[in-house]
Amino acid sequence: MSDCNRAITIEPTLSAAYTTRGAIYYDTGIYDHAISNATKAIELGPKNAVAYASRGGAYLRKGLTRQAISDCATAIKLNPNFAGAYINRATAYMGERRYDEAITDCRTAIRINPNYTPAYATLKEVVAKKRSFAIKKSP
């Protein structure tokens, strides 16, 4: 964190420093700070796909699925090969019971990076929730 703060002090327009500081806040569970740092990174670097995906992840942790989906969609538009953005969006879709869209995003992430284990774990979770939801709905 101190390195990020130092970088921001020296160069306050450095989008990557805010992105990294936001990730640190995210990892420590301080999602409001993660969101505000990602937002600042986006203001400074509007094509920063990582900042959009990171903010989307923080929104997701706060239960704000629509905002998460929107930010992840922007990250994907900026970088269509960003597997992590697809998984964040898949998780948000799952929260809205949009299982087919979540499955599609998981499969896209796997196609992009077949070694990305979170994609497989998320796909397994989505399929299980979809099955469970279908069983609950059936008469």
Every domain of the chain and the residues it spans: 1-79, 90-139
Are 83 and 114 a contacting pair, CB within 8 Å? no
Q: Tell me: the pLDDT tens digits for 64-123?
A: 999 999 999 999 999 999 999 999 999 999 999 999 999 999 999 999 999 999 999 999
pTM of the model: 0.89
Q: Tell me: the pLDDT tens digits for 25-62?
A: 999 999 999 999 999 999 999 999 999 999 999 999 99
- CA-to-CA distance for 80 and 11, rounded, in angstroms? 29
Tokens of 91: 């998780």
Range 1-79 has CATH code 3.40.1710.10: no
- CA-to-CA distance for 91 and 72, rounded, in angstroms? 11
Tokens of 9: 């002090």
